[in-house]
Homo-oligomer: A and B are copies of this chain.
Amino acid sequence: MSHSPPDRPETRLISLDWGTTSLRAYRLGDEGEVLEVRATDDGLMQVQDGDFAGVLQRAVGDWIDASESAAIIASGMVTARTGWKETPYVRCPGNPDAIAGQLQTVAAKPNASNDRFVHLVPGMDCLRSDGLPDVMRGEETQLLGLNADAGARTVVLPGTHSKWVSMDANTVRSFQTTMTGETFAVLSEHSILRLMMHGESTEQELSSDAFLSGVETARDAGGHILARLFGARTLPLTGALPESQTADWLSGLLIAGEIAGMLAEPDGRYSNTPISLVGNAALSDRYRLAFNAFDIDADQLPARNVTATGHWRIAQAASLV
């Protein structure tokens, strides 16, 4: 067993958030506290010839070697078909115990004498009440890193493919993916609406007025957006909206379309629970503003280190730490 100097506390868990375009690594101490973070571009797309072990070594080999007893755990697209090893989904409802029971392992150093493994956290799937299957990979770990003492609630993870998750304590009961972010992206970049998109919504300061106008338009339409989208062309065409704010209007329209649709889900699952947002601050801000237009005060949870905390809890459930 190695002995770390006092200024470098012992590593108990190496936590890897390994996606398509990035690898984020956390070094956790005895109590699951984050001691060190590394963010690299070593996503799946950077891995040559399936040499995940080599990329891992390059990214955190020093952490691994310095702490022989530290467990290593990873989640994200690294468990997809294009990843290190494809893992079967854990079926909803699931909690850390359920996931811990389905961890898969790969050798961290294929030819080394000591047995070091990477424990892969599978994604989750569920059969939704609307009959459609749904899947997530990586988000399950974030969810398990949230406050585990909270009761029945809805956690919204905004993004390219937003997730609406029904949780109870530390159990993921069910979830739904909405393609809001990607619909915004393809309409902005590839439809006739692109001609009016002279401001890049996500890279400039939000025009709250335009955003809220889009929100209210979708809300007042009961969330039916198809017959409102053309407004992103006619409003700037007629001078009613500056072209630089058209992207914000469309963003508001789509986010409120998502919210109205989810609140109107036939089984009513999202209309009776408190709602919490977890995600990057700018996008969560937009969602919070949009929720306000529906008279909903959505709680914005800190997203920092939730993946590391989720890994710690799964590792505890699996007796890895």
User: Which residues of A come within 8 Å of B, CB atoms?
Assistant: 130-135, 161, 164, 176-180, 182-183, 185-187, 189-192, 217, 220-231, 234-235, 237-238, 240, 254, 257-258, 260-262, 264-266
Chain B residues closer than 8 Å to A217, beta-carbon distance? 130-132
Choose one: B226, B234, B260; the contact of A180 (CB below 8 Å): B226
CB distance from A184 to the nearest CB of B (A): 10
Which residues of B are found within 8 Å of A224, using beta-carbon distances?
223-224, 257, 260-262, 264-265
Given contacts A183-B183, A183-B191, A186-B186, contact A258 B226 (CB under 8 A): yes
Q: Which of B133, B161, B226, B238 contacts A261 (CB 8 A)?
A: B226
Pick the residue among B132, B183, B262, B264 that contacts A187 (CB under 8 A).
B183
CB neighbours (8 Å) of A177 from chain B are 227, 230
Partner of A134, one of B230, B240, B264: B230
Q: Is the CB of A134 within 8 A of B234?
A: yes
**Cβ-neighbour of A254 out of B132, B161, B226, B258 (below 8 A):** B226
Bound complex: CA of A128 vs CA of B179, how far in Å? Answer: 28
Chain B nearest Cβ from A165, distance in angstroms: 13
B133, B161, B230: the one contacting A240 at CB < 8 Å is B133
Q: Which one of B132, B182, B220, B237 lies within 8 Å of A235 (CB-CB)?
A: B132
| B178 lies within 8 A of A182 (CB) | no
Q: Is the CB of B192 within 8 A of A226?
A: no
Is B186 touching A133 in the complex (CB atoms < 8 A)? Answer: no
Most buried by B among A230, A234, A238: A230
In the complex formed, the residue of B with least CB distance to A262 is: B227
Is B237 a contact partner of A133 (Cβ separation < 8 A)?
Answer: yes
* Residue from B191, B225, B227, B228 in contact with A226 in the complex, judged by beta carbons closer than 8 Å: B225
CA–CA, A217 and B131, complex, Å? 9
Known: A186-B186, A221-B261. A226 touches B133 (CB 8 A): no
Name which residue of chain B comes closest to A223, CB basis: B224
| CB nearest neighbor in B for A260 | B224
Interfacial chain B residues near A178, Cβ < 8 Å: 226-227, 229-230
Pairs of residues from A and B, 10 with the lowest C-beta to C-beta distance, nearest first: A224-B261, A132-B231, A186-B186, A177-B230, A133-B234, A179-B229, A178-B227, A186-B190, A178-B226, A133-B238
Give me 5 other A-B pairs in contact (C-beta within 8 A), A130-B217, A182-B191 excluded.
Answer: A177-B227, A178-B229, A223-B224, A224-B264, A227-B261
How far, in angstroms, from A228 to B187 measured CA to CA in the complex? 17
Known contacts: A135-B237, A224-B223, A231-B132. The answer to whether A192 contacts B182 by CB under 8 A is yes
Interface centre among A132, A229, A238, A257 (most CB of B within 10 A): A132
> A254 to B177, alpha carbons, bound, how many Å?
17
Contacts of A180 in B (CB 8 A): 226
What are 26 contact pairs spanning A and B, CB under 8 A?
A130-B217, A130-B221, A130-B228, A132-B228, A132-B230, A132-B231, A133-B231, A133-B237, A133-B238, A133-B240, A134-B234, A135-B234, A135-B237, A178-B226, A178-B229, A179-B191, A180-B226, A182-B191, A183-B187, A183-B226, A185-B191, A186-B186, A220-B266, A222-B264, A224-B262, A226-B257
